[in-house]
Amino acid sequence: IKKGKKHPRETERIRKNRFGYVFMLFCLTAIVWLGFFFFENIFYRETGSAFPAENDLAAFFAFFFGITGTITFLGKLLISDKIIRWFGLGRGLCILPISALLFLAGYWAAGYFFPGSTSIFLAALGAMLIYKFLRSSVHKSASMVLYQPIERVKRHNILLVTERLGGVLAGVILFGLVNLARVPYNLAGLCLIPVFILLLFLLPIVQRMYKNALKTGLASRQLSSISLDNPDVSGITILEQVLDSSSPGQVIYALNLLAKIQPEKIPEYLKRLLNHPLDLVRRKALIRIERYGVSELKPAVESLLTRRQGSGTKGLILRTLMSTGRQQAIPVVREYVHSHSLPVKRGALV
């Protein structure tokens, strides 16, 4: 099945949508980096005040980095991927900005109500520990989902550019706010609150653009099974919707991706495709059933004989019946052995 050539206007529209999508990813990345740099700065600042002795400071950092490394590893291993599958892309992306807003409010409250106490250090420690954990595990998994609709040959470069430029922009903003404008850290934290509130409003837009970009990638068949190893619920839903497409190429392409993502649901997808209005799609489903020997689909395959089918398709149905349950299928297939249609007769004699 060959890909059709796109109209120049359609190509230009896709290019503009992709640029807007990448720009939104850049903004998202810059805000996340801004929060990380801020929490990192207040953490080191408060830690230096809490441990004036060099030996105590070195011992604390050794303990802290050991704990953060262990927690981050366990989070990536046990939690991050499951959260995206359980709650979806939108909720997964909201976890980090909501946590950042709570940390910013807590740090400001500790500095305002308990100045000079250890509560400020504990607030900075907790914020840094949890923000770093969420950023490197849950948010990173969610962010990688956002890059899936981008062509594989360009994805790595775009990811690299957005991460680096987003980090540079965030560093410049924080440096200008704290060092040039001389804004105290507690007030700088208040300035970041509207930024993360803005991010919460941008996330639904990003998710909507992600779905559109994913549909465009499916339409042009530019995705790969590797890029969808950890899709969110909405991504899987879109793939399942494409199974009803009127384009055979898109249907088969989506089926191949779903076979990599959820192999345990292949019988369900193949049964669904047996009722597809396009003969080519039904034939492809029959070939898959024959190849894998999906015996539980024998009744669904047999029911196709009661419908009007082309001779080639009917022969394939008979052949598939024999592969899914030879003993039970023999009485049904025997009726077509003396058919006047050569494809039907050939399918019955296999």
Confidence check: pLDDT of 332 > 80: no
pLDDT at 1: 43
pLDDT in tens, 100-156: 898 888 888 877 777 766 788 888 888 888 888 888 877 777 777 788 777 777 888
Mean pLDDT calculated for residue range 237-257: 81
* DSSP secondary structure of 183-232: --HHHHHHHHHHHHHHHHHHHHHHHHHHHHHHHHHHHHT---TGGGSS--
Longest distance between any two alpha carbons in the chain, whole Å: 96
Contact at 8 Å (CB) between 247 and 281? no
Q: Please check the confidence at residue 30 and state whether its pLDDT lies above 90.
A: yes
- Residue from 263, 254, 256, 251 nearest 235 by CA: 254
What tens digit of pLDDT does each residue of 336-345 get?
Answer: 676 767 776 6
Torsion over CA: 242, 246, 250, 252 (sign): positive
Query: Is residue 226 over pLDDT 50?
Result: no
Confidence check: pLDDT of 287 > 70: yes
Backbone angles phi, psi at 193, to 5 degrees: -60, -50
For residue 208, give both structure tokens.
Answer: 């909507």
pLDDT for position 109: 82
> Model's pTM, two decimal places?
0.68
Can you tell me the mean pLDDT for 82-96? 73
The mean pLDDT of 257-266, rounded to a whole number, is 82
How much is the pLDDT for 70?
Answer: 80
pLDDT for position 31: 92
User: Which tokens belong to 259?
Assistant: 């076979």
